[in-house]
Amino acid sequence: MTMNQQIAYRRVSTLEQRTDRQLSDTGIQFDFEFEDKCSGSTVTRPALEEMCRFVRKGDCVHVHSIDRLARNTRHLLELVESFQAKGVTLRFHKEGLEFGAELGSAGRFMLTMLGAVAEFERALIRERQKEGIEQAKQRGVYRGRPARDKTEIRKLLSEKIPVGEIARRLNCSTRTVQRVARESSTDITTP
């Protein structure tokens, strides 16, 4: 592996979203790219974890914005400190910030403030979304997710198919299968 590699990290919140707009206008030819498709609050991010193990001294990690990298301010500081300990530079393109091997107290303060602002923005978005859903419910135009047809789940449960397999086949959560089993007093088969 050569030194001074340019590494991209991208994250979107859902499988339907695309990452191609993140870092596309940088003009940088990335040596390696890591991508996660999961919510910002998700603790497990396989690509981020892999990238953290992969990076070496002299590498530069490029991220579109602070909120794409970390779950919260504490997580952001932990990541930055981990990169610094390895001698890795971290660059946030939207904010126009770069953090090298030495953060210093002013840099740490700025990073903490920006992380807190990103956290605050996420909280505001969730609050506005909740208010919007409540208003839509009052107008009678929001019905939530369509109810899942439980017939197929019950059928597969009666065939003693494991919960995980049913969830995979029907593209639903294991909790949904377990709830249907409880509601219909069906014994659950586990692998």
Which residues are identified as catalytic? 13
Determine contact, residues 113/76, Cβ cutoff 8 Å: no
Instruction: Give the C-alpha distances (Å, rounded to integers) separating 178 from 154, 163, 164.
Output: 10, 7, 10
